[in-house]
Chain A
Amino acid sequence: MAVAVEVANVTRRFGSVQALAGVSLAVEEGEFFGLLGPNGAGKTTLISILAGLTRADSGSARILGHDVIADYRAARRLLGVVPQELVFDPFFSVRETLRIQSGYFGIRDNAAWIDEILHHLDLTSKADANMRSLSGGMKRRVLIGQALVHKPPVIVLDEPTAGVDVELRQSLWGFIRKLNRDGHTIILTTHYIEEAEALCGRIAMLKAGALVALDTKQNLLSQFAGLTVRLVAARVPASWQGRVRRRDDRVFLIGIAHYAELEELLAALRAEGIAIDELALQETDLEHVFLRIMGAKGAPR
């Protein structure tokens, strides 16, 4: 498999803020790659560097082998970007918007593909409506359409479902999955951990401009394998004190490796005569992994 996106030692500083502190990663062709991180982690800066909207202070970025600065024409033809902000040109209709965006890429015979995009994004009935008259969700879909007009092999979506209702989110997920199945490499940044968990094969986590995790979803999950017991009681047995991950007054989160350990915990509680007010079991999910990684690892500033 060829490398779709390659970022090497990229740094970028805005005034006193180190937005990216030497990030390196490679995304292979056909991957569905997630880029996670809290606000200000550097996700959008990294994407802007790939798209040529921001220039790195040092390091390099390539799209399918084409440097985003030295060979920007080829790099930009291979890349489709859905920006985070809900931007549009109020002078034009949906179809005009897509036609103009095609033209910027030098493509003028694009009516059939534009019709297909409109169909897939459920915008056919709004094709001749002015952009101003569209709802937020529809504008978001037009932005996705604009990123696809030139049939880019690599597609970057910067928080595509921010502020989108549940129904539309599901339909966008379906559409993005289809793009990936059709062979497009997808890079998705998101705040919604369940979105990354549902869609992405590999996930990178950024914190304060540094890469703090980069692995397959399965490996990330197994790294923090096990179960969490949420126990509400006066105290935990003395022998279990070291297993408490978090305590909030009478609520204890206790890590156990497997279900058999639950029996041991219950036996210890009985032995010390501790009454159980509430008890629940939680499986490890990506959100749990994310919080653990973000909480545990510092990053150079």
Chain B
Amino acid sequence: MIRGAGWPTLLHKELLRFWKISVQTIAAPVLTALLYLLIFSHVLESRVKVFNGEVGYTAFLIPGLVMMAVLQNAFANSSSSLIQSKVTGNLIFVLLPPLSPTDLFVAYVLGAMVRGIVVGLGVFVVTLAFVPSLAAMPHPVWAIAFALLGSAILGTMGVIAGIWAEKFDQVAGFQNFVIMPLTFLSGVFYSIHSLPPFWQSLSRFNPFFYMIDGFRYGFFGLSDVAPATSLAIVATCCAALAALTLALLSSGWKLRR
């Protein structure tokens, strides 16, 4: 027998898991994003000015929706996989083999990143029909960097939620009371310059704001905050969350009793 690392198989399993139910895990979130775009762009296109009118509202909204899809689906993948395995008891199949805490972390987070980015690409392709000029991105590397880091952060948060939760409702609670507010208050639907000063300064404590603002820079070359600053903040958050998650996995907290 040839023995190699175990984590590529866990990653492969994570990918198969969402691929086998792709209508629910890929098509459904793409449709949701499309509905957001249809409704918000129809209502707000002529009323909201962003980046001093340099960018149309629909064009502004699309990168926000793409990034929202990336973030929410990355979180959904790792958190739902872990909680399903815990509730059904089949997490034991992952706990019995010689997978290290790092192996578990890498496999679950990479699986979440792939799901987030696949759904984000789906949203981008579908919404491109509304603003084809978005395909000519001035700074694609920035957009890719923020998509990778953002999906890694949310994949990591999904792992934390999955480790912590004992029931499906606890994951749903984490999603509804942490992920959703942070996403909606991050500037997906607006530029923070349109907010009153208090909310503007509060938004600067939300790491999701920097992910979305930096991602948008890739599309327009315009942003509320310098992209290098955003990247540094997002990368620091990612590193801190990764360290926390690795510590939780190493301690066996809520996994190995």
Contact = CB atoms under 8 A, between A and B. Distances in A.
Interface in B163-182: none
Nearest to B92: A83
Contacts of B4: 106-108
A259 interface: no
B196 interface: no
Nearest to B95: A53
B10 interface: yes
A103 B2 contact: no
Contacts of B12: 100, 103
Interface in A86-110: 87-92, 96, 100-110
Interface residues of A, number: 38
Contacts of B21: 91
Contact of B252 (A14, A55, A90, A101): A55
A103 B90 contact: no
A52 B99 contact: no
Given A52-B256, A53-B92, A109-B2, A91 B98 contact: no
Given A100-B13, A104-B6, A87 B98 contact: no
Contacts of A81: 96
B1 interface: yes
B95 to A, nearest CB: 6
A290 interface: no
Interface in A73-132: 73-74, 76-77, 79, 81, 83, 85, 87-92, 96, 100-110, 113
Contacts of B96: 51-53, 76, 79, 81
Interface string A57-83: 000000000000000111011010101
Given A85-B89, A90-B88, A106 B5 contact: yes
Contact of A72 (B92, B93, B98): B98
A104 B9 contact: yes
A110 B257 contact: no
Give the interface size bracket for B toward A: 20 to 34
A191 interface: no
Interface string B1-34: 1111110111011001100110000000000000
Contacts of A222: none
A117 B116 CA distance: 37
A146 interface: yes
Nearest to A107: B1
Interface of B: 1-6, 8-10, 12-13, 16-17, 20-21, 85, 88-90, 92-100, 252, 256-257
29 contacts: A14-B257, A51-B95, A55-B252, A55-B257, A73-B98, A85-B89, A85-B92, A87-B90, A88-B88, A89-B88, A89-B93, A100-B12, A101-B97, A102-B9, A103-B6, A103-B8, A103-B9, A103-B10, A104-B6, A104-B97, A104-B99, A105-B98, A106-B4, A106-B5, A107-B1, A107-B3, A107-B4, A108-B9, A110-B1
